[in-house]
Amino acid sequence: MSTPCSGIGVVISFFRRYSLQTITFITSHPKKAKELSWHLNHPIEYLELDLPEIQSLDPHAIVHAKALAAYEHAKSPVLVEDFSLSLEALGGLPGPLIKWFLAELGPVGICRLLDAYSTRKATAKTCFALCIKGTVHIFDGDMEGRVATSPRGKAGYGTDGIFIPAGWEKTWAEMNKEEQNKTSLRRIGLKKLERYLADTADSL
């Protein structure tokens, strides 16, 4: 995760209904592909790709650059994603740099960062970027919540054990599938993406 340049391409035949032959989903984490398949209720196939990732605090800039790089490689429609966790006590950091914070500190270390502050409020954000014919379209999923005092739960990965969505007492890692679906950032972003594809199917 300290040098997240390699990725896995995933061909999503699910999107054929929207007049696209395939969309290739790029992710540095195989579990993301599995989770995407679960949200789409459709199996996903894998192929390998290597992509650079710019260093920025702007998640849209990151996914925009990744989508263009992926499109240049694939020469076909591509989908990329980037996750951010912004902590109010740290002025919005680490944001999209969360993967490096996790690599250096781990989930326990991120929890400890907030022990000296009066607030543990956080905003989780996932950004999907779809690039078709060289044009990038971005779809966000956002959720307010807080960081737990220590990691909890065994499901999921990354920040799933430390983020508690607003209105809940469980971390994502403590939730069952139904609860995860209700609080899923990816579900929010993918619904926007699906709506876009449905609305523009005739022009794609």
3-state secondary structure string across 66-82: HHHHHHHHHCCCEEEEE
Judged against a pLDDT cut of 60, whether residue 46 lies above it is answered with: no
Residue with tokens 């395939």: 22
Distance CA 201, CA 186 (A): 21
Structural domain containing residue 162: 6-203
Whole-prediction pTM: 0.84
Q: How many CB atoms lie within 10 A of CB 61?
A: 15
Q: How many domains does the chain have?
A: 1
Q: Which residue has the higher pLDDT, 129 or 47?
A: 129
Q: Is the pLDDT of residue 8 over 90?
A: no
- Whether 91 is covered by a domain: the verdict is yes
Cβ atoms 121, 144 nearer than 8 A: yes
pLDDT tens digits, 73-108: 888 888 888 999 999 999 999 999 999 999 999 999
In a domain, 1, yes or no: no
Q: Determine the Cα–Cα distance for residues 66 and 117; give it in Å rounded to an integer.
A: 34
* Mean pLDDT, residues 51-73: 91
The whole-number average pLDDT for the span 33-49 is 62
Q: Who wins on pLDDT, 4 or 96?
A: 96
Higher-pLDDT residue of 187, 49: 187
Q: What is the CATH number of the domain that holds 40?
A: 3.90.950.10
Cβ–Cβ < 8 Å for 162, 110: yes
159 located within any domain: yes
| pLDDT at 133 exceeding the cut of 70 | yes
Q: Are 116 and 136 in contact (CB under 8 A)?
A: no
Count Cβ atoms within 10 A of the Cβ of residue 79 and give its class: 0-12 exposed, 13-18 middle, 19 or more buried: buried
Is 31 contained in some domain? Answer: yes
Does 145 reside within a domain?
yes
135 belongs to a structural domain: yes
φ/ψ bin of 75: left (φ > 0), alpha (ψ from -120 to 50), beta (otherwise) = left
Q: Is residue 197 part of a domain?
A: yes
d(CA 157, CA 185): 14
What is the C-alpha to C-alpha distance for residues 106 and 146, in angstroms, rounded to an integer? 17
Helix H or strand E encompassing 198: helix 185-200
**How far is residue 19 CA from its own chain's centroid?**
25
pLDDT, residue 43, reads: 54
For residue 163, pLDDT beyond 80: yes
Tokens read off for 36: 């995407």
Structure confidence at residue 119 as a pLDDT band (50, 70, 90) = very high
pLDDT tier at 2 (50, 70, 90 boundaries)? very low
